[in-house]
Amino acid sequence: MENKSNDIYGRSRVKNTDELDKYYSDLQSMDTGALWTVANDIEPWEPHTISAPMFWDYEKLRPYVLEAARLVTPGEAGRRVVYLQNKNRIKEKAAVGWLYAGVQITQPGEFTPAHRHVAAALRFIMEGSKGYTIVDGNKIDLEARDFVITPNGVWHEHGVAKDGETCIWMDGLDIPLANALEANDYGVLAEETGGQEEVVPRNYSPNRYSEAGVIPMDKKWDKPYSPMFRYPWKTTQKALQNMAKVSEPCEFDGYLMRYSNPLTGGHPMQTMGASMQMLPPKMHTKAHKHTGSFMFQVAMGKGAVIINGKRYDFKEKDMFCIPSWLYHEFVNTSETEELYLFNFNDLPTIEKLDYYQEKEHPEGHQKITS
């Protein structure tokens, strides 16, 4: 069995002395340092997360999201969003890891200014009717529980028809990652332009790529992201239910499907992925941990998640995050109804760098400590 004590050959074991303290001080004055003083911290035996598990009760948060609509306009705010803050990632404005999340509200007749940024973005629609997004000149209607992408660098804007209902959705972006790499930027269309010109028929993207297993052959798509900007809830739910008819659930995730680029089978965008999972009634998954940061929203149903020994009971539209390398397991507490969980994550980045690791809990389930 591997010895993971730091007091062994190969790890930093240098004892402090007055002479070494003077040496370290001299190095610091030259903006340098001795590696062995920090090596065990920056090269841990196992992956280590800075982020804390977090839980956001939507019922408690929703009144403040509605209040934002009274206090500021989309034109004043650019985007009217209440962002979700991980208590251990305050400087980065991250919800978990290098991922940002927020809850955006748009009222009937309103629209956000058209803008673009290096950071990739996605939406998961929570409530409302007759909302829409315009991505790269493609106007797309939105419905509850749809998954929508706005890839990095493309113009996009959002709105709600005058005869619609107030729309609220969860935003996900890799803003912290783009800022950490010192590569982010932001641009807006001039106010007098009135937004983007629609260059294709309404709902062009989701209609061209509307069915799994078939793709159009008349045009070549040369972008690094998915040409399917909206993934409808109805087809996602049906796919999971069909899978459940012929398959046994995974012991760690139930029935899990990730959203994909229909042309490549890969992730929809270069830095962020997303998935929907379904737990049958009464299912309690086994615990495991893996690298990668995950931001969840309860799409439908009720249940609980146990993260690092702490249990969080949730209901529809509640949100929580699972940081990298923390044990977690899920419970569907309903006797009769399916549980659906949406998540977005940084797996495309983790996988490209070959950083993915996974480990099962040795006892199958965690002991609940709080």
The answer, as to whether pTM is greater than 0.85, is yes
Q: Which residue has the higher pLDDT, 239 or 189?
A: 239
- Distances from the Cα of 350 to the Cα of 219, 307, 346, 353, 357, angstroms: 31, 21, 6, 5, 9
Task: Please give the average per-residue pLDDT across 105-113, as a whole number.
Answer: 94
Tens of pLDDT, residue by residue over 211-258, are: 667 888 877 889 999 999 999 999 999 999 999 999 999 999 999 999
Tens of pLDDT, residue by residue over 66-93, are: 999 999 998 899 889 999 999 999 999 9
Q: Residue 14 — pLDDT band, cuts 50, 70, 90?
A: very high
**What tokens does 53 get?**
């598990």
Nearest CA to 325 among 23, 18, 49?
A: 49
Write down the pLDDT at residue 192: 60
69 neighbors 318 (Cβ within 8 angstroms): no
Nearest CA to 232 among 200, 264, 205, 253?
A: 205
Task: Please give the average per-residue pLDDT across 31-60, as a whole number.
Answer: 97
Task: Please give the average per-residue pLDDT across 51-76, as a whole number.
Answer: 96
Write down the pLDDT at residue 2: 57
> Which residues make beta-bridge pairs with 289?
359
What is the distance between the alpha carbons of residues 295 and 193, in angstroms, rounded to a whole number? 35
What is the distance between the alpha carbons of residues 99 and 173, in angstroms, rounded to a whole number? 6
> Which residues make beta-bridge pairs with 160?
131
Identify the residue whose tokens are 């995974």: 250
What is the distance between the alpha carbons of residues 306 and 33, in angstroms, rounded to a whole number? 40
Q: Mean pLDDT in the chain?
A: 94
What is the distance between the alpha carbons of residues 332 and 311, in angstroms, rounded to a whole number? 13
Task: Please give the average per-residue pLDDT across 329-344, as a whole number.
Answer: 98
Range 262-276 burial, b when 16+ CB lie within 10 A, else e: beeebbbbbbbbbbb
